[in-house]
Structure 1
Amino acid sequence: MGVINTKNWFEHDKWREKIKEDVQRHLFAHGMARRNQHDMMKQLEQKNVWAFVAKKFAELKKEWNGPDVPIYIFPADATNRSLQHEFGGKSGVAFRDQLFLFLLPHVSDEHIYALLIHEYNHVCRLHVDPKDEREYTLLDRIVMEGLAEHAVYERLGSEYVAKWTTYYTEEQLKQFTKKWIVPNMSLRPDDVRYRALLYGSTFYPRMLGYAVGYEIVKRASTKKTMIELFAMPSEEIFLL
């Protein structure tokens, strides 16, 4: 498997024949382009993105003893403000058995690598956890996001981690955890508060769950390696 050759998939909308309809909706919701898809793919091809991702994927798979999954490179939505501000013009979707990267042509190789690290880290975490994703609690999700972004920090340093890792001080994050995360850590995705706590809202600080998750894993990483953390329940990581 590995990196799939998607370079020509956006000619005459051929990609729709290859991706299930329910997954298509998920892709658009997480940052895939709706317009100018073919032009962006041509620009990504000129950068030889597929070969770069394949090389880095092989390195990560070996280091983390991770699963061999198909990786699909698709164009990102340049008009998505959240994608630009919170995620640096790139995004992705990770499943237990496949991975999607959404890229803009101007994104640097280092930032593409950071995205691959983050999303493939999700795949590795999901691979060792038999629980259905619909049963992932808020704590499960914020720990998973923390693991993924801390993996970026471990390999590339602070320059390439997401902006949301710097929004709050350690003391603020402790207060947020006590006030909002601990009372709600067992929420499931079908609860309306789940996304609000994860991403922030009118009532909660921006990227609340992501930022708290990064702090939890930063603390845990002083005692355990990434491979050890992959296999640990979220509750145990939280208590480290």
Structure 2
Amino acid sequence: MGVINTKNWFEHDKWREKINEDVQHHLFAHGMARRNQHDMMKQLEQKNVWAFVANKFAELKKEWNGPDVPIYIFPADATNRSLQHEFGGKSGVAFRDQLFLFLLPHVPNEHIYALLIHEYNHVCRLHVDPKDERDYTLLDRIVMEGLAENAVYERLGNKYVAKWTTYYTEEQLKQFTKKWIVPNISLRPDDARYRPLLYGSTFYPRMLGYAVGYGIVKRALEKNRIMELLTMESEQIFFM
């Protein structure tokens, strides 16, 4: 397990033979490159990204007593505006049993580490809360995002947390929570409001669910450690 050698997977589209079609859909939806894949992988190889991620993953796995899952490093979509503005040119997808990191060659190693912390924290959370992804409520998801980005803050500090953590004041987050999150905490991913509430839209503030989740977990960390929160129910953290 650990970091998989994907350096040559984009020669002749070999990666499609190794990843099932359902997962492929998720990868493109979450920021994987559709063009210039092979060139970007060569540039990432020159940075020795695979060795760096493998070393940091070993540290996190030991500290969090987390599961040993395969980690796939793939190229990120340089044309994705959301990826650039909200996520700093990097993104990822976490499943209970595998993890994908989407990277651009210019992203500094510490930002890659921040992404790994965030996504592997998701893996750990999914590992202790084995619901089907379709049953993850809006509350489950915002708490999970809050746990992951607070884990980044704990290890790396303010410099490396996502920009969306700074968008709103505590008072604004309280108002947003009361107005939009509380009435919708039980929504599931098949509801049309789920993604707009999570990421923002014309009707909801930018990165709404993520920002609220960060604030909720930050407040809970005044009384608990991140490792304790990882195993708690979302409702317990939310109403703490």
TM-score range, shorter chain: over 0.9
The answer to whether structure 1 residue 48 and structure 2 residue 40 are counterparts is no
Matches of 1:12 and 1:183 in 2, distance apart? 48
Who is 2:104 aligned against?
Answer: 104
1:72 counterpart SS class? strand
Who is 2:76 aligned against?
Answer: 76
Who is 2:195 aligned against?
Answer: 195
Task: With the length of structure 2 as denominator, give the TM-score of the two structures.
Answer: 0.99
Residue deviations 1:138-183, cap 9 Å, x none? 0000000000000000000001000000000000000000010001
Who is 2:161 aligned against?
Answer: 161
Residue deviations 1:61-109, cap 9 Å, x none? 0111000000000000000000000000000000000000000000000
The answer to whether structure 1 residue 86 and structure 2 residue 86 are counterparts is yes
Who is 1:184 aligned against?
Answer: 184
Matches of 1:236 and 1:22 in 2, distance apart? 33
Who is 2:224 aligned against?
Answer: 224
Who is 2:131 aligned against?
Answer: 131
Q: CA deviation at 1:131?
A: 1.2
2:190 maps to a residue whose letter is: D
1:192 counterpart SS class? coil
Matches of 2:25 and 2:126 in 1, distance apart? 21
The answer to whether structure 1 residue 8 and structure 2 residue 8 are counterparts is yes
2:192 maps to a residue whose letter is: V
Matches of 1:99 and 1:59 in 2, distance apart? 16
Q: CA deviation at 1:191?
A: 0.5
Residue deviations 1:24-67, cap 9 Å, x none? 11100100000000000000000000000000000000111000
1:208 maps to a residue whose letter is: L
2:119 maps to a residue whose letter is: E
The answer to whether structure 1 residue 37 and structure 2 residue 42 are counterparts is no
Q: CA deviation at 1:124?
A: 0.1
Matches of 2:26 and 2:137 in 1, distance apart? 19
The answer to whether structure 1 residue 117 and structure 2 residue 155 are counterparts is no
Moved more, 224-233 or 49-58: 224-233
Who is 1:237 aligned against?
Answer: 237
1:181 counterpart SS class? helix
1:69 maps to a residue whose letter is: V
Q: CA deviation at 1:239?
A: 1.5
Report the aligned-residue RMSD.
Answer: 0.5
Who is 1:144 aligned against?
Answer: 144
Matches of 1:77 and 1:202 in 2, distance apart? 24
Matches of 2:130 and 2:210 in 1, distance apart? 22
Matches within 5 A, 1:19-30: 19-30=19-30
1:44 maps to a residue whose letter is: L
Who is 1:18 aligned against?
Answer: 18
2:72 maps to a residue whose letter is: Y
1:73 counterpart SS class? strand
Matches of 1:237 and 1:61 in 2, distance apart? 23
Matches within 5 A, 1:206-225: 206-225=206-225
Task: With the length of structure 1 as denominator, give the TM-score of the two structures.
Answer: 0.99
